[in-house]
Structure 1
Amino acid sequence: MRSSLSDLQRAIKGLVVMSSELELMYNSMLTNAVPDAWAKVAYPSLKPLASWIKDYHDRIAFMRGWLEGGAPPCFWLPGFFFPQGFMTGVLQMHARKESIPIDALNFGFEVTEAETGDDVASPPEDGIYVNGLWIDNARWNRTTRRLDESEPGVMFSPLPVVHFKPVLNYVPPAGEYQTPLYKTSVRAGALSTTGQSTNFVLCVSLPIREGTESDFWVLQGVALMCMLDN
């Protein structure tokens, strides 16, 4: 980014030739779009350029705080380039701690009362606290502590901090909806070299409103996202 911006500034001043790549970058900036030269090597995102830059700096601040101050009590999952790898590492640490095979471990989920990561004072004994997720086409009812229908005119709503807890031979509860978690609102993705989807992360099991079944929420198109498009 630094070198391409420097080259663009020089090209605008007429000090170097304006290449086709620099021209595309300039045109993208005029329309508040992320230049293709940056997007093709960056994390998946549908944000416009202004929001993308802010999100980019938030990610840097999150990682720098982790490096300089140690692991945070709550992890901002959208800040990871490859969150699947991070969560595999969490399971590996728990498997070593308990001396059990990692293949028998999976995550169980509990939505806490903490609204944001700042409300979390200390990490859990097992697993991790995760914040920064959004619910698409539904909301979290803080009274009933269940998934509920969206408020009128509200498409996205924040999900409180979630406890990702490693569970041996985990079986999802029958009365919960296996909510797919995506990095962006595009509910599709190509397989990466690791065999993982470039967009789908995992399914988060959430309790649902009484009197409904999983099929109801499937038809509603309910999913979780790591980031919004704006």
Structure 2
Amino acid sequence: MGNSLFQLRRALAGEIGMSKDLDDLSTALFNGELPAMWRRMTSQTEKMLPAWMAWFERRHKQYHQWAEFGEPKVMWMSGLQIPETFIAALVQSTCRAKGWPLDRSTVYTQVTPYKSEADVTEKPKEGCYVTGLYLEGASWNDQTLMLRTQDPKILVVELPILHIIPIEGSKLKLTNTFRTPVYVTQARRNAMGVGLIFEADIATTIHPSHWVLQGVALCLNIDQ
């Protein structure tokens, strides 16, 4: 980013020729869009440039604190380059510690009452806490900790902190839950399945077919 901006300043000053990439960069910055040459280096996103810059700064801060002070007690999942590898590493480390067969292990999730990272005092004994998930197609009931019907004109709501817990597949028996797909962006996934991270178990007393028809999903990266 720094090099491309430096080269653009030189091109605008007439010190070097204006290439197509630099011209596209200039146009994107003028229109408040994420430049294509930057988009190629980042994870999937549909954000415009101002929202993306705020996301980029927060992402840089999380990686820096992770490197300096160790894994955070709540992982901001939206800031990970490839979130699915974090889930895979979580399962692998748990299997190694408990002697479980990796090919027979999976994860399940529980939505916690915690609304923000400030509410969490320590890491969970098993699994991890993640934040940055947005619920689309439904809303969330803070009292019952279950899905509820979407409020009028409110298309997306932020889900409270989610607890991801590795478990042996044979021991997983869930009731009154909806297997909610978790996508990187609101574009969801393409025909090749790219964009789907995992499926979260969200509590509900309504039949799952209702939420399927409502198009309920979780997204890490919304437009704003």
Look up the SS of the partner of 1:6 in the other structure: helix
Q: Corresponding residue for 1:85?
A: 85
Q: Corresponding residue for 2:196?
A: 200
2: CA distance between counterparts of 1:16 and 1:118? 49
- Correspondence 1:179 to 2:180: yes
Structure 2: gaps spanning 5 or more residues = none
2: CA distance between counterparts of 1:101 and 1:22? 51
Deviations 1:79-103 (A, max 9, x none): 1111111111111110011111111
Instruction: Report how far residue 171 of structure 1 moved.
Output: 3.7
Give the partner amino acid of 2:157.
S
Deviations 1:146-199 (A, max 9, x none): 0111111100001001110111115462421110000100022365xxxxx541
Deviations 1:18-64 (A, max 9, x none): 11111111111111111111112211000001111111111010010
Q: Select the residue among 212, 218, 222 that pairs with 1:224.
A: 218
Q: Corresponding residue for 2:26?
A: 26
2: CA distance between counterparts of 1:198 and 1:15? 42
Shift of the 118–189 alpha-carbon distance from structure 1 to 2, 3 Å rule, reads farther
1: CA distance between counterparts of 2:37 and 2:152? 39
- Correspondence 1:129 to 2:129: yes
1: CA distance between counterparts of 2:42 and 2:111? 30
Look up the SS of the partner of 1:22 in the other structure: helix
2: CA distance between counterparts of 1:217 and 1:172? 20
Matches within 5 A, 1:22-61: 22-61=22-61
Look up the SS of the partner of 1:143 in the other structure: coil
TM-score, structure 2 as length reference: 0.95
Q: Corresponding residue for 2:106?
A: 106
Give the partner amino acid of 1:17.
G
Structure 1: gaps spanning 5 or more residues = 192-196
Shift of the 172–10 alpha-carbon distance from structure 1 to 2, 3 Å rule, reads farther
Q: Corresponding residue for 1:194?
A: none
Moved over 3 A (4+): none
2: CA distance between counterparts of 1:168 and 1:205? 15
Q: Corresponding residue for 1:213?
A: 207
1: CA distance between counterparts of 2:144 and 2:183? 25
> CA RMSD for the aligned pairs?
1.3
In percent, how many aligned pairs have the same letter? 28
2: CA distance between counterparts of 1:181 and 1:110? 14
Give the partner amino acid of 2:20.
S
Look up the SS of the partner of 2:221 in the other structure: coil
1: CA distance between counterparts of 2:155 and 2:22? 37
Give the partner amino acid of 2:178.
Y
Aligned length: 223
2: CA distance between counterparts of 1:28 and 1:142? 41
Give the partner amino acid of 2:117.
G
Contact 1:176 1:206 in 2 (8 A): yes
Q: Corresponding residue for 1:15?
A: 15
2: CA distance between counterparts of 1:86 and 1:145? 25
